[in-house]
Structure 1
Amino acid sequence: MTVATSDVEAIVFEVIEELLDTIDTDFEDELSSSALLVADVGFSSIDFVQMIVSIEEKLGAKIGFQDMLMSDGKYVEDLSVGQVVDFTVNRLNNPQLAVATPEAVATPEPAAATGPTITEQDVSVFTTLIKPRQAAGAPPAAGKNPRAVFVLSPPRSGSTLLRVMLAGNPALFAPPELHVLSYASMDERRADLDGERGDQLREGAVRSLMQTRDWSAEQARDLIESYEARGESTGEFYAQLQQGLGQRLLVDKTPTYAFSVDILRQAETFFDNPLYIHLVRHPCGMIRSYEESDLTRMMPLMMKSSAFSSSAVAEMIWLMSNRNIMQFSQQIPAERWCAVSYENIVNDPQGQMGRLCDFMDVDYHEDMIHPYSDNNARMTDGVDNSSKMSGDLKFHLHSQIDPAAATRWRQFCSEAMLGEPTLDLLSTIDTEVARIRV
C-alpha cells in the first residue's frame, strides 16, 4: 500500500509544531513546506534528532534518516520541511532503502591539519573549567552493593551503541546514563542537574526504575524525589535500583564519570569488586563527533564556556578522561579490567561482544549484535518519548551497526591536528587496544 504524501506531511508538521513549543526560537510564521529548519525555524543539531525520533515514533517505522542528514560524508547544513516529508515518503514506500547493508567503504584520504595544536599548558587551563569533585559518598548501610559493571569513556566514544548492545543480553541490565556515581547524595545530584540542561540527564535513573519495577514515570520520579528530600546517599539509590534486577548485572555507562578519578574511585566504595570496561575511540573520531553534536550545552560538569575552540575542547576532554581512566586502572586488579575500542566493535561486533561476555562471565546472546531492535527492552525510548533518551540521541539516526563510522573522521580530521600530549597517550593506548587506527 502506497503511503500518501499528505498523510506524512501532516505528521511532520505536527512534530515540528510540538518541538516549537519546547525550544528557544524566534520563529513565529506559519509553518510551510519551504521553511528551512535551521535558517528559518531555528533548529539546532539536537532539535533535528528530536524531530526525526518523534517522526519515527509516530509512524511506528525505522526510516534511516542518517542518509538524509549526510551528503558526501558531511552533515548537511540545512533542510526544508518539504525535503523531510519527501525523504520520509520515499523511505516508507521503498522500505528496502532503510535497511540496506552498508557497503565496504575505502579509507578516505586524511584531511590536512589546521589551527594550533594543544599543549600541556592548555590542558592545565582547561581543567580549571571542570567543577571540583565534592566529598565522597558513604558506603551503603547494609555493606557494599552487589557487583556492577562500569563502562568508562569520554563522551562521543560510542558508549551509547555499546550500552544498547549490552542491553540485548538478558543477563545484563544496561540502562541509559544514570549520572549517579558523580555525587555523594541524591540531593546534591538534584541540585547539580536541576534546570534545562540537566533535566534530560536525570531521566536515565527514572527510566531504569520504570523498567525494573514496571512503574509509571510518575512513580519512578516520586521514589527519586523521596531520596532527594531525605538526602540519601547515591550508594543507597544504587542498592534500591539493584533490588529489582534479580541475578542481572547492572551496567552503568555515564561518560562524565571519567572527568574525575575521585568519581571513579567511588565505584570501589559502593560495589563489591566491580568490573570496568574501558571504551576507547580514536581522538579524531571523538573530536569530529563532539563538534557535530554541539555537546557543550549538555555538559553539567563544565563550570563555564571556554575560549578554546570546540575541537580543542573535545581533544582535551578525550585526553583528560582517558588519563583519569588509565590512572584509575592502576588501582584495579587486571581480572576486573577490560579495554575495548569503538573501531573494533563496529568492525567485529560479534567477536567483541563475545569477548566482553567472557570478561563479565555471562553467556553470549545473539541479540547483542542487533542493537536497533526492541526499543523498550533496551530503554532507547526515553521516559516520555524517544527524543528524551539520556545518552547519544544520534543513535536514533541509524538502523544498524555501520563499520564505516570507524574511519569517517578521516575526511575532516588528521592526526597532525593533535597535540603532543594527545599523541603520547594515544600511542600508549594503542598498545592496550589493538586496531584503534583502522
Structure 2
Amino acid sequence: MSEEGYRQRENGIFTRAIHGGFEPQDEFTWPIMPSIVVSAVFEQETPGRDREFRYSRIRNPTRTVLEKSLAEIENAKYALCFSSGLGAATTIISVLSSGDHIIAGEELYGGTYRLFKEIFPRMGMQTTFVDTRDPKNIENAMTEKTKLVWIETPTNPILRITDIKSVSEVVHKQEGVLLVVDNTFQTPYFQRPLELGADISMYSLTKYMNGHNDCIMGSISTNQESIYEKLHFLQHALGIIPSPHDCHQLYRSLKTLPLRMEQHMKNGLALAKYLEKQPQVEKVIYAGLTSHPQHDLVKKQCYGTSGMLSFYIKGDFNETKKFIKALKIIKYTGSLGGAGTTVVVPSYMSHVMLSNEEKIKLGITDNLIRVSVGLESIDDIIADFDQAFKYLLNSK
C-alpha cells in the first residue's frame, strides 16, 4: 500500500509511457518519434510471400506502434485500436453468436447501454442488467448461454465500484465466459483490470488516454493470444480502424499520461472536498473521498483515482441550468478526460436514452451534475464554482 492507502504501483510506468512501443530504425535519420504512415497499401515480395504490412486496414505501422505502447503501459501482451470506444465495444461483442447471453452492469455509459439494449438484440443476443457491486447478482444471472460479462468501474455517472477480482472468480467458474472491464474512467495508470482477473480491458481512448479533446478512438488490451487473434481478425474484417494521423496524435498524448493523471487526481480530490462543504450541494460522489461508500475497495484495487466526480445540487432542473450557465471557464460538454474542466447533466446528455424509471432507479436525476476535473489551477476551478454558487444564491 502507498502512503495514501492505494495499491503500490511498480516503478517504470513513466518510462514506458514515454518510450514504449517504438525504437528508431531508420538508418539514415534515426527519428525518436514514429512516422505517420498514410499509405493504404504496401509492396509485397512475391505471390504467397507477404511482408508484415500489406493493407492498412489489416495492419498499419503507425497503429502498430500505438498498440505496442498501449500494451506496455498496461503490462499486457496485446492491444488493439479501433475508431472509437463504441467501435471497440462492437468488435468485442462480435465474437459472440446469435443466442448468446450477456450480463452487464445496470449503470453503464449511455452509448454502451444502447448497444446492449437496442442493437445487439436484433442479432439474437440478449443482455441481463444487474447491480455488479454484489458478485452474487452476476452469479444468479448466469445461464448456460452466458458468454460475456461487461462491467464499468467506476460507473458513469454515479461512480459505483465493482470488485473486479471477486467478479472474475464468479465469472470464470463457468468455462468460456469472458469478463470485460471498461476502464475508461481510471486508465491503466490507476487501475489494471487484467491483473485482477479480467480477460479484456477496454477503453474509450478519446477520454483520458488522449486527454486533449481532439481525437476519437478506442482500444482493448488482453493477455490471451486466442482473444487477441479473434479480435484482430474482427478489427480488419469489420474495418473499425482509426486513421494513422489519430494514432500518431494519441501516441504522443500517452507520453504525458502519468503526469496528467496525477494532476487530475490532485485537483479532483481538492474540488470534491470543497463541494462537500457547500450548503447548496446535497451530496458529493468521488471515489477518492473517505465518504464514498466503497472507498476501501477503491484503495484495495486501484493505484489512485481520476478526476471524475458527481454531485447533486439542491433544487430542481431550474437550479441546475442556472448554475451551469453561470460557470465561466468551465465548459458544458458531453465528453470527459480533457485538459480543461467540464460539466454535464447526464439525464439530458450522456444518459438521455434511458427511461425516466431507469434514471430514477440509478439516481440520475435532473439535479445531478458530473464533473471532469481538469488540469487548470485548482484555485481557478474552485473560484469558478464559487461564483456560480453565489449567482445561484442571489438569483432566488
| Shorter-chain TM-score above 0.5 | no
User: What's the TM-score once normalised by structure 2's chain length?
Assistant: 0.28
Greater helix fraction, Structure 1 or Structure 2: 1
User: What's the TM-score once normalised by structure 1's chain length?
Assistant: 0.26
Greater RCO, 1 or 2 (C-alpha within 8 Å, sep 6+): 1
Greater strand fraction, Structure 1 or Structure 2: 2
